[in-house]
Amino acid sequence: MTTMTETASGLREFKMPDVGEGLTEAEILKWYVQPGDTVTDGQVVCEVETAKAAVELPIPYDGVVHELRFPEGTTVDVGQVIIAVDVGGGAAPVTPAAPAAQAEAPAPSQAPTVTAPTAPATAPAVPAAPSGEAGGTTAEPEPEGRKPVLVGYGVSVASTKRRPRRGVPAQQPEVAAAAAAVNSELNGHAAPAARPLAKPPVRKLAKDLGVDLAAVTPSGPDGIITREDVHAAVAPAPASVQEPVVTAAPAVAAPVSAPAAAAIAAPAVSYDGVRETRVPVKGVRKAIAAAMVGSAFTAPHVTEFVTVDVTRTMKLVEELKRSDEYGMQGLRVNPLLLIAKALLVAIKRHPDVNASWDEANQEIVRKHYVNLGIAAATPRGLIVPNIKDAHAKTLPQLAEALGELVGTAREGRTSPAAMQGGTVTITNVGVFGVDTGTPILNPGESAILAVGSIKPQPWVHKGKVKPRQVTTLALSFDHRVVDGELGSKVLADVAAVLEQPKRLITWG
């Protein structure tokens, strides 16, 4: 799919690419450039979050940013234009803050006239105190506002000041008036009044509370109105409740009770709004929801459990950490490493568990390789990157791959490719102090192993009750692909290896 187009005026439009396989949308997390900035081929201009990961997008040509089509936090379909770049030097950058500045210009004087021609005349009257020279400040902003039009000048002082005005109402009206004049000149008419910036949930909250967003002072980035701003707009309502409190004794009269009832009703709605928060479902969370619903209601899940003494495994972990003779220097060694190796050995002994169900062709697809998925909790949600060809790796190689996978996931830099093609998964719920669980299969896989917390428990060892390191394993599998016998053998083999790690030598 083509991710760029070129217009007759020398503007090149960059479209939202499909950064994964078959993704249909992505959310713009952060813009690294603004209109008027000079960009070069390969420069990262924004960060987007798909259903699988956060990805930085580079621009494929040189030029000056003409326009950002969408603000941060917007979900954009693949194929939509997200940024326009002037590669010919003939187009004027479109500053998103200009409409907002034009709407704000008449605000300090509270003048009823809002047309563009009167803006230069009324603007200097208010800021005379900050500038000290009314005559000098009215003539300069207009030419400086035009400088970003020329390629190579970079961002001028005026355009730099215009950009953040959406979040800072108290700016110089001279610059606002100049921006309005330039915008009017370029388009041949005055721009319409700016629409307050707010996300759909915030707009709904304002509607429910009867708040006019145009009268709300924004505190979010780039002048976006937040939930707190809306609640702050209705905050004065409780103050009106205190007025009838002073006259609580004579409030029996009908003329006083009506306003009091109306004043009390307003904060009641606001109070309910504070008690609940609605979070839009998008990005990784949206993908998780769709995948889990599809898996839970498509594959018939069966979960089996086994409790096992892993004392010897824990001793081996400590030995591998201390000794230099096993080639594990500088590598991260933990129980998850040996659990992963135990599962790989069990799959080697029972390869039919490493398969998937093809509904379209009514076939069972048996995989002759193991891409071992590791469920990882990240700030953006649960992701399952996988170690490619884990079956072919030695213990040191597996430790290195596992360390890289976990580190990348925690930094939020897991690529979409790293989360594709998994064949079997491990989820370690024990890190949260949980004994075990009934894990849901990762779509396209037929088995997932859950590992519970490892803790001392009384255990019969060599005919005596002793404190031993014990954990509980749970194996969920797709009963269309894996019969109870096969699933039981796989789980029993994993437990046997963890109980006696020496079996890695004979079975592995």
Residues assigned a catalytic role: 479
Other Cβ atoms within 10 Å of 374 Cβ, number: 22
Phi-psi region of 299 (alpha: psi -120 to 50; beta: other; left: phi over 0): beta
φ/ψ of residue 61, rounded to 5: -160, 170
Query: What SS3 class is residue 502?
Result: coil
Distance CA 372, CA 387 (A): 5
Distance, first Cα to last Cα, the chain: 46
Under 8 Å between Cβ of 437 and 450: yes
Sequence letter at residue 360: A
Query: What SS3 class is residue 138?
Result: helix
Q: In what order do the strands lie in the sheet containing 63-68?
A: 4-6, 11-15, 81-86, 63-68, 38-39
DSSP label at residue 197 = P
Query: What SS3 class is residue 284?
Result: helix
- Contact partners, residue 377, CB within 8 Å, separation at least 6: none
Distance CA 469, CA 477 (A): 26
Compute the residue count for the chain.
508
- Contact partners, residue 338, CB within 8 Å, separation at least 6: 313, 316, 317, 497, 498, 501
Distance CA 389, CA 473 (A): 24
Instruction: Measure Cα distances from 441 to 88, 292, 444, 476 in Å.
Output: 53, 8, 8, 7
HSE, CB side, 13 Å, CA atoms: give it for residue 471: 29
Distance CA 26, CA 21 (A): 13
Distance CA 15, CA 403 (A): 35
HSE, CB side, 13 Å, CA atoms: give it for residue 290: 9
Q: Assign 3-class secondary structure to 385-400.
A: CEECCHHHCCHHHHHH
Distance CA 144, CA 190 (A): 19
What would the DSSP string read from start to end of 34-46?
-TT-EE-TT-EEE
| Residue 31: its H or E element | strand 25-31
